[in-house]
Amino acid sequence: MTEANHSITLKFRKFNRFYTNVLGFLDEHIYDSPFSLTETRILFEIKNTSHCTAKLLQDTLGLDRGYVSRILKRFEKEQMVYKQKSEEDSRNHYIYLTEFGNTIYKKLEGKANQQIEYMLKHVDGQNQEKLVQAMNTIECILSEHLSPEKSAISIRDYYLSDDIKLMIEKQRTFYAETHGWDHTFSAYLHETFESEIEKIWIAESAGRFAGCVGLVKHPGNTGQLRWFLVDSAFRQQGVGTRLLQQLIDYCKEKKFERVFLWTVSTMAEARPLYEKFGFRLTEVKDETLLWGQHLREERWDAELA
């Protein structure tokens, strides 16, 4: 990682102070509206983001959860926005502008254009081009290093009742659509959550479910890996590796001697990842009719002691 020297840091901060003053000056002279710059940015994101959520606004704009919540409540009170529950994920509510909200947005957008016209009215064409090129340079360099892909996906190690419902639905849908498993698998899933749950890890990106894995406690310092799934939209991004790494690290920290899992032989794509974390095939059952398919169950164990 390259560190900026002290001189560059001071110049960077000097530019930040200068541009903050520019934005404050323009806001004072142009906007003349009851909305702060942050509120205006939130309106812009809601208008221009498909399936916008409060969590997405927090992550995109780097704002505190409570702050975003207060602004959205004000917008709802003024009938500028409305919320609609996601059919895919009942925990999420998508946010949309009302007709009145769209009217406000168009007026603010017009004033934003006036901002730029006001700023550039005494700048000649050649310097305007130089200014835009400099802005592009700043945007390209900083966006490349301030938004690494891995940081977009976070993992939490606690769960709520709605998370369990979502995990069941995600697993049911995946195995039904991908492997043709029938309704009996859904009943089985509900039963598995009656076990002694040690921990559940849930991966998310901007409030969207990205994956999950759980650990069930067994006698003799043994744990069972369960409910491992990566959503199709987030595959090939290292989500599965990060989930399993957190589970294994936790087991080692808590002095588990062994972790095992049950899978089926048709799930061959997961084998390299299991092997990467030290799991080895230890048992294979005879093929049997299970969840509407003829399947052969496999047990994999990882010795940690």
* CATH number of the domain bearing residue 47: 1.10.10.10
User: According to the per-residue pLDDT averaged within each range, which of 56-60, 105-109, 175-179, 256-260 is highest?
Assistant: 256-260
> Residue 127's domain spans which residues?
6-147
Whether 1 is in a domain gets the answer no
For the whole model, what pTM was predicted? 0.55
Q: Which of 147, 182, 212 is the last residue of a domain?
A: 147
Considering the domain architecture, whether residues 139 and 172 belong to the same structural domain is answered as no
* pLDDT, position 194: 92
Distance of CA 38 to the CA centre of its chain: 22
CATH code at position 215: 3.40.630.30
Considering the domain architecture, whether residues 136 and 161 belong to the same structural domain is answered as no
Considering the domain architecture, whether residues 15 and 60 belong to the same structural domain is answered as yes
If pLDDT is split at 50, 70 and 90, which confidence band does 39 have? confident
Considering the domain architecture, whether residues 270 and 199 belong to the same structural domain is answered as yes
Considering the domain architecture, whether residues 179 and 106 belong to the same structural domain is answered as no
**What tens digit of pLDDT does each residue of 117-172 get?**
888 888 998 999 999 889 888 887 877 666 544 447 889 998 888 899 999 999 99
In the predicted model, is pLDDT for residue 29 greater than 80? Answer: no
Considering the domain architecture, whether residues 233 and 295 belong to the same structural domain is answered as yes
Considering the domain architecture, whether residues 187 and 247 belong to the same structural domain is answered as yes
Considering the domain architecture, whether residues 156 and 295 belong to the same structural domain is answered as yes
Considering the domain architecture, whether residues 160 and 291 belong to the same structural domain is answered as yes
Considering the domain architecture, whether residues 138 and 197 belong to the same structural domain is answered as no
Q: Calculate mean pLDDT across residues 201-227.
A: 92
Query: Quick one: CA torsion of 233, 237, 242, 243, rounded to 10 degrees?
Result: 20
Distance of CA 208 to the CA centre of its chain: 5
* pLDDT, position 149: 46
If pLDDT is split at 50, 70 and 90, which confidence band does 201 have? very high
If pLDDT is split at 50, 70 and 90, which confidence band does 63 have? confident
Considering the domain architecture, whether residues 160 and 143 belong to the same structural domain is answered as no
* pLDDT, position 246: 95
Q: How many helices (H) and strands (E) does the chain have?
A: 10, 11
